[in-house]
Amino acid sequence: MDHSDEASQRSQMPSILVTGASGFVGRAVCEQALALGMKVRVSYRSSSSLPRLTGETEKIQIPFINDVTDWSHAFAGIDVVVHLAARVHMVSDKGTQSLSLYREVNTAGTEHLARSAVASGVKRLVFVSTVKVNGEQTGYRPFEEEDPPRPEGAYAISKWESEEALNRIAAETGLGIVVLRPPLVYGQGVGANFLRLLGLIRSGIPLPLASVSNRRSLIYVKNLSDAILKCAVHSCASPRTYLVCDEQSVSTPELIEHIASLMGLRVRTFSCPPRLLNLAGELLGKSAEVARLLQSLVIDDRRIQSEIGWTPPYSLLEGLRETIDWYLATRQVNSRT
């Protein structure tokens, strides 16, 4: 390709606004969008939350997200909004008060953002939801988009209500809506339970998970960002909902084995009856975390593959290798300080 063709392709790329750009997924989306030649604008809450990116972006401060947020300056000249900002799932959040807090940001805030985008002439909105809308575990078959929603907990309920609001807006206004429901996301910068699992494996503490026979779908953060940007530029029908995941699902013991191998460690697991593990989770107040290690959650992503031709560019092992490289590098830096 000569320079004139490359410049022409870049000029045809949409201008995008990424909310939640300082987050784990947001940074990956911005980096890939910049590499593709897109004009990227990011929203941030405060100067301390400005995303650190390798390319030039426009930045606009949005201190809060709810049903009165002023988006008027954020959407000027924007073709596509990638909406990642959200009140994220917290195990400690419980009760009806918690649900109202999630709804304020995730449901009312998302609906207001979408209607503001329509008023500003935005053509498409890509919304990252969660597979938790489908439910917390699968049985005899994988989750599909047509399955009846079974969200559990405030976070999942607020995300499902966000999806319903966006579908209504698409029907009323013609705004192009694409909803993505990913499972657990891992990669460089990962936190929460996946980061704790990496620490446990590195510590060499034997884990009582050898007899677990589940299957889990995961998604590498660069695979998810690739799917997001594919939906941003593809002329797929609207509204559409897609489940997205890595090509390969994995059992908990297999995941531990892969991680240990990439760390250059010997796998240290032993068998323990699942009922005892569940009991231990209840006694320690960690039932949800234990359930994710024991239960299956498998996704069928054939719809996004057939309708827009997306397939994950990275394999599970490639994603895990980059994640482990990042993890070990950060631990070496921390050990010197």
* pLDDT for the residue 321: 96
Query: Residue 28 — very low, low, confident or very high, per pLDDT cuts 50/70/90?
Result: very high
103-112, 205-214, 286-295: the lowest-pLDDT one: 286-295
Establish whether 155 is a catalytic residue. Answer: yes
Query: Residue 51 — very low, low, confident or very high, per pLDDT cuts 50/70/90?
Result: confident
Distance separating alpha carbons of residues 142 and 204, to the nearest angstrom? 33
Cβ neighbours for 96, distance < 8 A, ≥ 6 positions apart: none
* Domains with residue ranges and CATH for the chain: 3-190+218-247+298-314 (3.40.50.720)
The residue from 44, 155, 314, 327 that is catalytic is: 155
* pLDDT for the residue 193: 87
* pLDDT for the residue 49: 73
Mean pLDDT for 315-330 is 95
* pLDDT for the residue 5: 45
Q: Which tens digit of pLDDT belongs to each residue from 58-75?
A: 999 999 999 999 998 999
| Paired residues of 180 in beta bridges | 128, 242
Q: Are 20 and 84 in contact (CB under 8 A)?
A: yes
Distance separating alpha carbons of residues 91 and 193, to the nearest angstrom? 11
Q: DSSP assignment of 129-168, as one string?
A: --GGGT-S---SS-B-TTSPP---HHHHHHHHHHHHHHHH
* pLDDT for the residue 97: 58
Q: Which tens digit of pLDDT belongs to each residue from 115-169?
A: 999 999 999 999 999 999 999 999 889 999 999 999 999 999 999 999 999 999 9
* pLDDT for the residue 3: 45
**What Rg, from alpha-carbon coordinates, does the chain have?**
20
Q: What is the average pLDDT score of the chain?
A: 89
96-110, 192-206, 269-283, 319-333: the lowest-pLDDT one: 269-283
* pLDDT for the residue 89: 60
Q: Are 200 and 138 in contact (CB under 8 A)?
A: no
